[in-house]
Amino acid sequence: MSIETQIVDAVIVGAGFGGMYQLHRFRNMGLTTRVFDKASDVGGTWYWNRYPGARCDVESMAYSYSFSPELEQEWQWTEKYPTQPEILRYAQHVADRFDLRRDITFDTKVLSAHWDEGVGRWRVKTDGGETVEAQFLIMATGCLSAPKEIDIDGAASFRGPTYATHSWPHEGVDFSGQRVAVIGTGSSGIQTIPEVAKQAASMVVFQRTPNYSMPAQNRPLDPDEIAAMKAKYRDFRKAQRESGFGVPVPQPTMPAGMDTADGRQQKFQAGWDEGSLVAILTSYTDTLTNATANNYAQEFIRDKIRDIVDDPQTAEDLCPKTYPMGTKRPCLDTNYYATFNRDDVELVNLRRTPIECITDKGVKTTDAEYEVDTIVYATGFDAMTGALTRIDIRGKDGQSLRDVWADGPVSYLGLSISGFPNLFTVTGPSSPSVLSNMMVSIEQHVDWISDCIQWMNDQGHTVLEATPEAQEEWRAHVEVQGNLTLYPQADSWYMGANVPGKPRVFMAYIGGVGVYRVVCDSIAAQGYYGYVTDGASAMAAK
Ligand code: FAD
Ligand code: NAP
C-alpha cells in the first residue's frame, strides 16, 4: 500500500541541536514542518556517542542554547564539562519543554531529496517508504555524524565483540576481565582510553598519530558560579557571538616571539592549569599562523608529556611532532597520559610498526600479533560532507551533490549551494562550524536561515538560490583565509585527509564566528547579496 505524499513547508533532516532549534523557529513562524532522524530520540551527537568518558570540551554553561532565557535559567548544569548523559538529558528536556517530538519522525533515515523544478519543492524519500514534499529542505545532519568506514584489512574476521565510539551500545559494555584493543587516539580515543583501562584486564592502544591533549581540569560546578553566570548570561552570550571560537577569551596582544622564554612558560602553564581547549592556542596572536610561535606551544605540551609518562620511549611515542598544534583538533582529557603508566596498558606506535590486518584473534602489526578479547574502534568520521553525500541529493537539472562536491565541497557561506535552491545546510562546510563552540554556530545558522525564509515570505519569493559567482567568491575567500594559517599543513579531518580518496580541501572558515556573523548579517541586510530569487536577483527584487 503506498503512503500518500504529504506536502509541508519544510523538511529538516536531523534532530540534534541544529534540527531541534530549527524546528522550534519554524513552529514559531507558522511553517508546517517534518523532521526525520535515524536515531530513536533527539540529541544527535549526544544520542550516538555514548562511550565511557564521553564529555563535551566546551564548558557546560557555554555549550547550551541561548535562544530561551527561561530555559537558560531553569536548567542546572552540574560539572564544568558536561558528560554525554547530562547533555543528552538536556536535549531531552528541551524536546519536552518545547514539545518538539510531535513533529519528529525517529528511526527513519532520509535516503534521497530531489528538487522538483516544476512545483518548486523538494521531494524527500525515507527508508520508511514515505515521501514528503517541502518548499524548504534544511540539512541539520551534523558535521561529525557519518562514521568513517573501517579501512583496516580483515576487520570482519575478528571473532570477539567490536565496538565503535560513534555508535556505542545503549546498555553499556562491561570490560571487566577483558583484554581490550583500542584503535584511534583522537578526541574519542583519548576520552575513552582512561575509562576503559580502569575496567579492562589489559589494554593495547594502537596509535597512528599522537594528539596534543591538555587536562580538562574538570570539576563540579559551584552553586555560586552558576548563579553568577545566570546573572550575566545575556552579556556572556553576546560575548560568545562576537568571539573567535564561540568561547569568550581575552584577546592576545603580542606575538609569541616578543615574549621571553619565562613569559611564554608562564602563559602556557596558566592555559594548561585552566583546562581549556583554546587557552594555550590564544596565548599569542600568531600561534596558528607562525610555525616558530606554534613550536613554542608544541614544546610546552611535549615537555608535559615527558614529565607525566614514566617510560621515556612511550612518552616520546605520545609526543606529537609531525604537525602544528591546533591544526588537528586538540583534545581535553582526564588522566590520558598518566594511563600509560599503568602496567596493564601498552602503547603501539603504528608509525614504527603499522597494522597489517585484523585477525580472528586480534590486531597484527608488522611486528607482532596482539591477541585481545575486544576491539574498540575510535577511528572517527567522514566529517563535514559525509552525512550529506550519503544522501542522494539532486538539485536543478538533476545534478547530484556528490558530483558537485567530487573535488571537495563548495558552498556559499556554508549555508547554501548553488544549483540547490531552497536547501540550507546548518553548519555546512566553509562556515566556522567545527572551529567553534558549535552551539553558537548552530544558533547563528538557524536564525539566519529562519530570517531568510521569513524575508522570502514577506517579499513574496518562493525560490532562493546562491549564484555560482557568489559561491566562488566565498570559496576563494575561505581558501585564502585558511592558507594564512598553519591548518592546511596537517593531515586532519578538517582537510578531509582522514578518509582515503577524499579531496584535500580545508573545509571550515577560520575568520571566527564574530566576523562571520557580521558577514552573514551584512549579506542579509543587502537584500541577500549573492542570491537570486524566483529568477531575479534578490537585491534587485527588494
Ligand atoms: P548532530 O548532533 O550530529 O545531529 C545530526 C543528526 O542527523 C543525527 O542525529 C543523525 O542521526 C541525523 N542524520 C544524519 N543523516 C541522516 C539521514 N540521512 N537521515 C536521518 N537522520 C540523519 N562540539 C562542540 O562545540 N564542543 C564539543 O565539545 C564537542 N564534542 C563532541 C564530541 C563528540 C563525540 C562528537 C562526535 C562531536 C562533538 N562536537 C562538539 C560536535 C557536535 O557534533 C556538535 O557540537 C553538535 O552536537 C552538532 O549538532 P547537530 O545538530 O548539528 O548535528
Ligand atoms: P578523529 O579525531 O578523526 O580520530 C580518529 C583516530 O583514529 C585518529 O587517531 C586516527 O589516526 C585513527 N585512525 C583512523 N583510521 C585508522 C586506521 N585505519 N588505522 C589506525 N588508526 C586509525 O576522530 P574522533 O576521535 O572520533 O574525533 C572526531 C572529532 O569529534 C574530534 O576532532 C572533535 O571535533 C569531536 N570530538 C570531541 C570530543 C570532545 O572532547 N568533546 C570527543 C570526541 C570527539 P590519524 O590521526 O593518523 O588519522
Give the mean model confidence (pLDDT) for residues 127-133: 98
Dist. CA 209 → ligand 2 center (Å): 10
Q: Does residue 126 lie within any of the structural domains? A: yes
Residue nearest to atom 43 of ligand 2 (CA): 188
Ligand (nearest to CA of 391): 1
Do 241 and 520 form a contact (C-beta atoms < 8 A)? no
Looking at 358, 380, 402, the residue that finishes a domain is 380
Cα gap 220→176, rounded to integer Å = 28
Q: Are residues 508 and 394 in the same domain?
A: yes
CA pseudo-torsion sign 446, 73, 95, 387: positive
In one-letter notation, the amino acid at residue 485 is T
Q: Are residues 161 and 79 in the same domain?
A: no
| pLDDT (0 to 100) of residue 539 | 41
Q: Which residues make Cβ contacts (< 8 Å) with residue 366, sequence separation at least 6?
A: 353, 354, 356
Q: Are residues 200 and 84 in the same domain?
A: no
| pLDDT (0 to 100) of residue 540 | 37
Q: Are residues 437 and 358 in the same domain?
A: no
Give the mean model confidence (pLDDT) for residues 287-312: 98
Q: Does residue 273 lie within any of the structural domains? A: no
Looking at 329, 362, 380, the residue that finishes a domain is 380
Q: Strand ranges (DSSP E) for 152-245? A: 162-164, 179-183, 202-207, 213-215
Q: Are residues 462 and 510 in the same domain?
A: yes
Q: Does residue 271 lie within any of the structural domains? A: no
For the Cβ of 59 lying below 6 angstroms from any atom of ligand 2, the answer is no
Which of 408, 423, 527, 528 minimizes the C-alpha distance to 475?
A: 408
Q: Are residues 373 and 431 in the same domain?
A: no
Dist. CA 185 → ligand 2 center (Å): 6
| pLDDT (0 to 100) of residue 541 | 36
Q: Are residues 405 and 522 in the same domain?
A: yes
Q: Does residue 361 lie within any of the structural domains? A: yes
Q: Does residue 487 lie within any of the structural domains? A: yes
Q: Which residues make Cβ contacts (< 8 Å) with residue 139, sequence separation at least 6?
A: 13, 14, 387, 388, 423, 424, 425, 426, 428
pTM: 0.97
Which domain CATH number covers 367? 3.50.50.60
Mean pLDDT of the chain: 96
Give the mean model confidence (pLDDT) for residues 479-502: 96
Give the mean model confidence (pLDDT) for residues 11-25: 98
Q: Could you read off the pLDDT of 207-264 as tens digits, one per residue? A: 999 999 999 999 999 999 999 999 999 999 999 999 999 999 988 999 999 999 999 9
From 58, 80, 144, give the residue whose CB has the most ligand 1 atoms within 8 Å, as the site to mutate. 144
Q: Could you read off the pLDDT of 140-149 as tens digits, one per residue? A: 999 999 999 9
**Percentage of the chain with pLDDT > 70?**
98
Do 181 and 370 form a contact (C-beta atoms < 8 A)? yes
CA pseudo-torsion sign 217, 508, 20, 44: negative
Q: Could you read off the pLDDT of 315-341 as tens digits, one per residue? A: 999 999 999 999 999 999 999 999 999
- Confidence check: pLDDT of 440 > 90: yes
Residue nearest to atom 35 of ligand 2 (CA): 187
Q: Are residues 83 and 176 in the same domain?
A: no
Q: Are residues 399 and 448 in the same domain?
A: yes
Q: Are residues 72 and 175 in the same domain?
A: no
Domain that holds residue 434: 6-146+383-541
CB-count exposure of residue 160 (10 Å: 0-12, 13-18, 19+):
middle
DSSP code, position 134: E
Name residue, grid cell 553558537.
440
Q: Are residues 466 and 486 in the same domain?
A: yes
Total structural domains within the chain: 2
| pLDDT (0 to 100) of residue 4 | 81
- Confidence check: pLDDT of 538 > 70: no
Q: Does residue 258 lie within any of the structural domains? A: no
For the Cβ of 152 lying below 6 angstroms from any atom of ligand 2, the answer is yes
Dist. CA 145 → ligand 1 center (Å): 5
Give the mean model confidence (pLDDT) for residues 68-75: 98
Ligand 1 atom closest to Cα of residue 442: 52
DSSP code, position 289: T
Q: Does residue 59 lie within any of the structural domains? A: yes
DSSP code, position 150: P
- Confidence check: pLDDT of 153 > 70: yes
For the Cβ of 332 lying below 6 angstroms from any atom of ligand 2, the answer is yes
For the Cβ of 144 lying below 6 angstroms from any atom of ligand 2, the answer is yes
Looking at 361, 380, 399, the residue that finishes a domain is 380
From 149, 163, 317, 498, give the residue whose CB has the most ligand 2 atoms within 8 Å, as the site to mutate. 498
For the Cβ of 380 lying below 6 angstroms from any atom of ligand 2, the answer is yes
- Confidence check: pLDDT of 376 > 60: yes
Q: Are residues 115 and 156 in the same domain?
A: no
Q: Does residue 194 lie within any of the structural domains? A: yes
